[in-house]
C-alpha cells in the first residue's frame, strides 16, 4: 500500500485506539496532515477508510469525528458479531485442519500465561485473542464476507472491550476458548456455534457492566 496514505491511516487509527483521540473528538484534515507529516490528500484517503471501518463518522456537513458508540449500538454490534462468528465457528468445526487446531491450542495456552501474571498483560491478551478469532474465521473458509463483516465490527468492539476485563472475565474467556477447542476437536458444529454465541454474549455483558460503572463514576469507561 502507498506510503503516505498508509502512514496516515495507521497513525490516525492508532491515536483513536490508544485514546489519544477520544470518542466524539473532531478530526480536522489539516491538523491531522500536520501531525502525520503528509498533505491533506492521503489524510482524506485515510479518513474514508476509517469511516468505512466505523472508526470515524461524518456529520451532515462532512466534518469527521472519532466514532462514539452508544450502549445500544454496542449491543447491536455484539449481537451481529455473535451471529456471524457463531456461524463461522460452526463451519470451522467441519473444516478445521490439525495444524490450525494446534495453533489455536498454543495461542490459548499463551493467553492463559498472559492473564495469569500478577498483573494481567492486557495488550498481549488482546493480540492473542485477536489471533485466536482470526484463525477460526480463516478456517471457516467464508473468508470474503466474514472478513468484511468482522473488519466492520471487530476492531471497534474488541479492541475497546477487553480493557474492561477483570481477571475473572479473562479466565472465563480462556475457559470458553478451551470449550471451543473441544468442540472443534470433536467436529461438533452445533456445540461450537453455541459456545461462540455465549462467549460473545458474555463479553457484551462484561462490557455493559463496566460501561454502567464507568458512567456512574462520570467516566466513559473507555479510557486507556
Partner DNA sequence: CGAAACCCATTTGTATACAATAAGGATGGA
Partner DNA sequence: TCCATCCTTATTGTATACAAATGGGTTTCG
48 belongs to the binding site for its own copies (CB under 8 A): yes
Residue 61 binding target from its own copies, DNA, none, CB below 5 to 8 Å by type: DNA
Q: In this complex, which beta carbon is closest to its own copies, that of residue 152 or of residue 185?
A: 152
State how far the alpha carbon of 71 is from the alpha carbons of 39, 154, 207, 208, 212, in Å.
Answer: 36, 16, 9, 7, 9
The C-alpha atoms of residue 136 and residue 85 are separated, in whole angstroms, by 9
Residue 105 and residue 139: Cα distance in Å, rounded? 14
Minimum distance, C-beta of residue 106 to its own copies, in the bound complex (Å):
29
Could you give the CA distance from residue 95 to residue 138 in angstroms, rounded to a whole number?
Answer: 10
The answer to the question of residue 142 lying near its own copies (CB under 8 A) is yes
Question: According to CB under 8 A, which one of 4, 17, 22, 83 is a site residue for its own copies?
Answer: 83
Residue 197 has a CB neighbour count (10 Å cut-off) of 17
Instruction: Indicate whether 158 belongs to the interface with its own copies (CB under 8 A).
Output: no
Which residue lies nearer to its own copies by CB, 49 or 103? 49
CA–CA distances in Å: residue 223 to residues 65, 125, 153, 184, 204: 17, 18, 19, 36, 17
Residue 2 or 18: which CB sits closer to DNA? 2
What count of other Cβ atoms lies within 10 Å of the Cβ of residue 122? 15
Alpha carbons 224 and 179: distance in angstroms, whole number: 30
DSSP state letter for 118: S
For DNA, the closer of residues 49 and 202 by Cβ is 49
3-state secondary structure of 57: strand
Cell numbers for 45: 484517503
**Which of DNA, its own copies, none sits in contact with 38, Cβ below 5 to 8 A by type?**
DNA
CB of 26 to DNA, least distance (A): 7
Beta carbons of 85 and 145 less than 8 angstroms apart: no
3-state secondary structure of 117: coil
In angstroms, what is the minimal distance from the CB of 180 to its own copies?
20
| Pick 48 or 105: Cβ nearer its own copies | 48
Residues that bind DNA (CB under 7 A): 2-6, 26-30, 38-42, 44-45, 59-64
Q: Minimum distance between the CB of residue 117 and its own copies, rounded to whole angstroms?
A: 36
CA dist 61 and 156 (Å) reads 24
Q: How far is the CB of 70 from DNA (least distance, A)?
A: 21
Minimum separation from the CB atom of position 187 to DNA (A): 41
Among residues 43 and 183, whose Cβ is nearest to DNA? 43
Q: Which residues bind its own copies (CB under 8 A)?
A: 1-2, 44-45, 48-49, 52, 54, 62, 73, 76-77, 79-80, 83-84, 87, 142, 144-146, 148-149, 152-153
Amino acid at each position: 500500500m502507498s506510503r503516505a496514505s498508509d502512514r496516515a491511516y495507521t497513525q490516525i487509527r492508532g491515536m483513536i485506539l490508544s485514546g489519544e483521540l477520544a470518542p466524539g473528538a473532531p478530526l480536522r484534515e489539516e491538523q491531522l496532515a500536520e501531525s502525520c507529516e503528509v498533505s491533506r490528500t492521503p489524510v482524506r484517503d485515510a479518513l474514508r477508510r476509517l469511516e468505512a471501518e466505523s472508526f470515524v463518522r461524518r456529520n451532515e456537513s462532512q466534518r469527521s469525528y472519532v466514532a462514539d458508540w452508544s450502549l445500544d449500538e454496542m449491543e447491536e454490534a455484539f449481537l451481529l458479531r455473535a451471529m456471524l462468528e457463531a456461524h463461522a465457528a460452526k463451519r470451522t468445526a467441519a473444516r478445521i485442519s490439525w495444524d490450525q487446531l494446534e495453533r489455536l491450542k498454543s495461542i490459548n495456552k499463551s493467553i492463559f500465561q498472559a492473564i495469569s501474571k500478577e498483573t494481567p498483560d492486557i495488550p498481549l491478551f488482546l493480540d492473542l485473542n485477536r489471533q485466536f478469532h482470526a484463525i477460526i474465521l480463516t478456517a471457516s473458509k467464508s473468508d470474503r464476507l466474514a472478513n468484511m463483516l468482522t473488519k466492520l465490527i471487530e476492531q471497534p468492539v474488541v479492541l475497546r472491550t477487553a480493557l474492561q476485563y477483570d481477571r475473572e472475565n479473562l479466565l472465563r474467556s480462556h475457559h470458553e476458548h478451551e470449550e471451543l477447542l473441544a468442540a472443534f476437536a470433536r467436529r461438533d458444529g452445533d456445540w461450537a456455534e453455541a459456545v461462540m454465541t455465549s462467549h460473545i454474549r458474555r463479553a457484551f455483558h462484561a462490557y455493559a457492566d463496566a460501561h454502567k460503572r464507568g458512567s456512574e463514576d462520570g467516566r466513559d469507561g473507555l479510557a486507556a
